[in-house]
Structure 1
Amino acid sequence: MRVLVGGGTGFIGTALRQLLKAKGHEVTLVSRKPGPGRITWDELATSGLPRCDAAINLAGENILNPLRRWNEAFQKEVLSSRLETTDLLAKAITKAPQPPQTWILVTGVGVVLGRGGGAIGHMLLPFRLGLGGPIGSGQQFFPWIHIGDLAGILAHALEASHVQGILNGVAPASTTTNAEFAQALGTVLGRPAFIPLPSIVVQAVFGQERAIMLLEGQKVIPRRTLATGYQYSFPELGAALKEIVS
């Protein structure tokens, strides 16, 4: 298939692009900067949708970017990066003489674990130094997913005609608590993982609104994802972490 991927230059987009190409699909990216195999968002707005069988939008500023203060300007950037790109793609699809058969929007997933990026990139150094541990109480749920499975779920939704509706992008073992996650990562690295990151520090770094996501967590079960027939490559946390840090 010819697949158009919005925001496909980041961590998730790179993994998805590699998987789709390995499966024989042709991928065109929509990004802010021009380049081979890409069109820009401006070109999409002015020239319309290139011919494609499916469109996927991954675009969106990372809401938990620890290097950005949670002020009004960044809040607007987080919203606009998702809403404006989705609106652009939706309008282009509506106007296309041959609209794509499949339209996938990625709006919320678990903590994405993988080599060379994602959440694990910020965790490895303190954990390798023996300074890792749970966030706050550690009793909050910590939904996670391996990058290979997130890309796999998207490819599955793309290729399987019976897949419709909302799929939770989390692993089946996502009833893990934050403390259990910290312990598992420490075990894989052969390091202790008992130094907690106090709630007050999390609030100071991320701001109170964003800190809620890390300190309160959410219990998420991928029932519909499993019901579609998707087979996880990394359903268990220990195996996922071993593959990432090996």
Structure 2
Amino acid sequence: MAQLNGLKHVVVGGGTGFIGSQLIKSLNLVGISCTCISRMPGPNRISWHDLEHHGLPENTSAVINVTGQNILDPMQRWSSGFKQNVWNSRVKTTKALADSIQNTKATIFATISGVAYYKPNDTVYTEKSICESYDFLSRLCHDWEEAAKLPESSNIRQVTIRSGVVLGREGGMIKNIYFPFWAGLGGPLGSGNQYMPWIHITDLVGMFIYALTNNNVDGILNGVAPQLITNKEFTKAFATSLNRFAIIPVPSVFLKMLFNEERAKIMLEGQKVTPKRVTELGFQYQYPDIESACKQLVKSHTT
């Protein structure tokens, strides 16, 4: 997989974040140099201001955008200002990169979106499923994906990965719940019967790299594991991997008070999403089931 199908230099929007830092690390391991776009200065980085005024580096072969303000930051009140920051951090950055990439020789533009694109119900969604926007989070995903679209005349291949809950020790949900579960204070969220589309960070990064590597990959990919589970099933698997009990549910009313009802939907409602195209394209998951994923999460913490 030398030079990843001829790609020499990848620009990663949000490269200092949970997903972006893992992407850069994995690309570097296979000999691909990266430039990170970030608000924080540092080596091999440019700022969003630099992008606006100077464009992408001349040697850019591919662009990936995984930038996004943490929606579930409990320190942030769910205000109109914070919601605008959430929108800007995803939509405006994606649009800026979509505009900039057209002035380069890059061959692929890969972006992230979310499974909130799909409405929570009993429907089993594949990449071909079409859903109208119905609330802030779904509108965000629609606008996010629209911002990434390049002109039909463009020769740049496009991939959008609609990610589920990303499981990894360095960030996201697991970073927040690890010690409560370790202390025996974990439990299902609300009823726990809501579906929880998920993916291990290793597989999400692998999916992006697979998209870079294979010229036949384009369009929408559901960035979720093939195993459909509920929040209650995740809770049991994670607690078991820690040799802990996790039977006391976190009341819905508490989550709504802490995060606001609109934002709490992320945790209390879920979609049945399957990666039909992903498996048809031949992508191989390292962690296709929640038991193996949770065992790795615990092992990575103890080693």
Please give the TM-score of this superposition, normalised by the length of structure 2. Answer: 0.78
- Residue identity opposite 1:238 in structure 2: E
2:183 maps to 1:129: yes
Aligned-partner SS, 2:222 = coil
Give the aligned residue type for 1:45: E
In the TM superposition, 1:85-124 aligns within 5 A as 85-94=93-102, 96=103, 98-108=104-114, 109-124=163-178
1:41-190 superposed matches below 5 A: 41-51=48-58, 52-94=60-102, 96=103, 98-108=104-114, 109-173=163-227, 175-190=228-243
2:269 alignment partner AA: E
Distance 2:178 2:186 in 1: 8
Unaligned ranges ≥5, structure 1: none
RMSD: 1.0
Structure 2 residue aligned with 1:196: 249
Matched, 1:239 2:292: yes
Identity of aligned residues (%): 48
TM value normalised by structure 1: 0.96
Distance across 1 between alignment mates of 2:265 and 2:18 = 24
Counterpart-to-counterpart distance in 2, 1:213 and 1:195: 20
Q: How far is 1:62 from its partner?
A: 1.4
Gaps of 5+ in 2: 1-6, 115-162
The alignment status of 1:8 with 2:18, answered yes or no, reads no
| Between 195-204 and 62-71, the greater mean CA deviation after superposition | 62-71
Structure 2 residue identity aligned to 1:196: P
